[in-house]
Amino acid sequence: QLAAVIFDVDGTLVDSERDGHRVAFNAAFAAAGLPYRWDVEEYGQLLHITGGRRRLTAFLERQGHPPQEAAALAAQLHADKTARFRDMIDQGRIPPRPGVPELITELTDAGITLAVATTGTRDWVEPLLDRLFGLDTFATVVTGTEIPTLKPDPAAYLETLARLNLPPYHTLAIEDSANGLQAARAAGIPCLVVTNHYTQDQDFTGALAVLNSFRNPTHTTDPHLTQGLT
Ligand code: XBP
Ligand code: MG
């Protein structure tokens, strides 16, 4: 019996990467006087490294910055990027994916507990969820800030299950990426994948079903599942 649905944020509740985080990272590079700019395609490659700070560190090391310098610069850039992304949220530039508000209302009305397990930073995750859905929509919100190992490690999901005090088989994860799917599966949680531009060609072996949209999905491995989703 389904007791709780655990949502990923980036790419799932919101299409936040291409026109959100990526833009904020580039603005942080510019403000720091650095020549780096991430185009849509390069950012898609970099997304395989979860966590903005880890992503920056790996990128800066690849550009030839020594490890310690890369780590310090990444921390500084990431703080600035987070502030810029918060401004974008305040300006209403990070909308929910189509169909998500309706799904959240349906699940809440059906008495299903909702939770969030994300690899993103609490400083922007909370204001975003509050603005779009109201923070009290979610019984608990686990972010990358309090989790030492990010997805595909299951830590965020294991912490969510512990806080919900539920076994994995009474929950369902909804994810957009292979890293997210692996994190949920490694925690024993069945996982529905709803792909987006960046993730549509990834390997989703082990998913309960793979849809390409919350609203009128056009492909799925289980046609019955789509009927319950608006
Ligand atoms: C999301 C991430 C995050 C975002 C940026 O992965 O990896 O790093 O790209 O957010 P998932 P931060 O959707 O699997 O949780 O800069 O706050 O890390
Ligand atoms: Mg995601």
Do 45 and 159 fall within a single domain? no
- For residue 9, report the distance from its CA to the centre of ligand 1, in Å: 8
Do 145 and 100 fall within a single domain? yes
Question: How many domains does the chain contain in total?
Answer: 2
Do 146 and 56 fall within a single domain? no
Q: Taking a C-beta distance cutoff of 8 angstroms, is the pair 198, 182 a contact? A: no
Q: Domain ends where: 75, 90, 105?
A: 90
Do 168 and 148 fall within a single domain? yes
Do 67 and 147 fall within a single domain? no
Interface confidence, given as ipTM, is 0.96
Q: Taking a C-beta distance cutoff of 8 angstroms, is the pair 16, 117 a contact? A: no
Do 62 and 176 fall within a single domain? no
Burial class (CB in 10 A: 0-12, 13-18, 19+), 45: exposed
> Per residue in 86-134, pLDDT tens?
999 999 999 999 999 999 999 999 999 999 999 999 999 999 999 999 9
pLDDT at 54 (0 to 100):
97
pTM of the entire predicted model: 0.94
Do 100 and 84 fall within a single domain? no
pLDDT at 176 (0 to 100):
98
pLDDT at 219 (0 to 100):
61
pLDDT at 229 (0 to 100):
46
Which residue, by CA, sits nearest to atom 16 of ligand 1? 52
Residue 8 annotated as catalytic: yes
List the structure tokens of 90.
């305040």
CATH number of the domain residue 27 falls in: 1.10.150.240
Do 43 and 154 fall within a single domain? no
| Domain ranges, residue 59 | 17-90
From first CA to last CA, the distance across the chain in angstroms is 21
The low-confidence residues of the chain, meaning pLDDT below 50, are: 223-224, 226-230
